[in-house]
Amino acid sequence: MFEKTTLDALPSFLFGHAQNTQGATGVTVVIAPEGATCGVEVRGGGPATRETDLLRPENMIEKVHAVVLAGGSAFGFEASCGVMDELKTRSIGFHLDSICVPIVVGACLFDLAVGENCAPDKKMGKEAVHAAFEKASFVEGNVGAGCGASVGKLLGQQNAMKSGFGMSVLRRGDLVVATLVAVNALGNVVSPDGKVLAGCRNEKGELVDGLEALSFAVEQLSQQTTTNTTLGIVVTNAQLNKAQATKVSSVVHNAYARTIRPIHTSQDGDSIFTFASGETPSSPDLVAAIATEAMVEAIYRAIETAKEAYGLKAKP
């Protein structure tokens, strides 16, 4: 029904990573030089988001020029400022007379407990833009916003596992839908039959069911405050308005629920953006259905391509 393809099938967008591997943090940016429609749905209880009010259907701005995913918690918003600065130098943005204001939205995940407790800055944001325009290799694993990502922190960061950045691109006829995700969940990543693929481990290093770990932490009054967040972007050539893009984001959260347990907790800031360039007429329901399947695959790719780092084991 769906054909796998690559990001080259979405020529209206540019994709870039930048990261500090020693510091265990990074930035992922998706750029629409001509602007594109964008919507967002935030489900987690601890979000860190930038300019998402602009994406409400009743508000004025219709075109967004970049979506930024970053580590560093709220400190990571500096990277978006760097993206703005770099886009402005390229005259990409909302134009009013001689003024150019790039419209940049985004979200951050918490990776400060991994590596050297540092955050993306303006320089890293600019580097991600350069990588996008230079069409540098855009890969999966311990890169970009997934550089310091981990999963399964219900019993503390020391019992977590390494995750990363994953993606999937599907085509049906002229319609192309890509999903990009940095998986940094409090819960575990599970297979379709519920088997834990990566996540919380006990003292013996054995994987522990996420709901059991959550129950234990609550009963023992020992649940540690760990901030997490899984951040995703749906990128498509579909023709969508802001309301439809927002609905697509809402539906695609089903992919999170299918693969991460528990999900959307008070300690996650789970968010999904939908970025649509508008070349291909399509039903938003079809876009959402394809994107949901692609996001499931992207989440599994984030686990499969992650490498052991920062004292965190990865899936074998």
Residue 64, strand partner residues: 36
* In the chain, domain spans: 3-304
Crossing angle for the helix pair 284-304 and 242-259, to the nearest 10 degrees = 40
pLDDT single digits (tens) 244-299: 999 999 999 999 999 999 999 888 999 999 999 999 999 999 999 999 999 999 99
Q: What is the pLDDT of residue 16?
A: 98
Which residue, among 277, 181, 173, has the nearest Cα to 229 in the 3D structure? Answer: 181
pLDDT single digits (tens) 83-115: 999 999 999 999 988 999 999 999 999 999 998
Q: What CATH code would you report for 3-304?
A: 3.60.70.12
Buried b (16+ CB within 10 A) or exposed e, 192-229: eeeebbbbbbeeeeebbbbeebbebbeeeeebeebbbb
**What is the model's pTM?**
0.94
pLDDT single digits (tens) 169-206: 999 999 999 999 999 999 999 999 989 999 888 877 77
Q: What is the pLDDT of residue 224?
A: 55
Give SS3 for 203.
coil
How far is Cα of residue 255 from the mean position of the Cα atoms in its chain?
13
Angle at 169 between CA 168 and CA 173, to 5 degrees: 150
Sign of CA dihedral 36, 14, 304, 156: negative
pLDDT single digits (tens) 131-157: 999 999 999 999 999 999 999 988 888
Mean pLDDT of the chain, nearest integer: 93
Q: What is the pLDDT of residue 225?
A: 55
Q: What is the pLDDT of residue 146?
A: 97
Is the pLDDT at 35 greater than 90, yes or no? Answer: yes
Peptide bond into 262 cis (omega under 30): yes
Is the pLDDT at 17 greater than 90, yes or no? Answer: yes
More confident position, 8 or 157: 8
Q: What is the pLDDT of residue 302?
A: 98
Q: What is the pLDDT of residue 48?
A: 93
Q: What is the pLDDT of residue 203?
A: 78
pLDDT single digits (tens) 55-66: 999 998 999 999
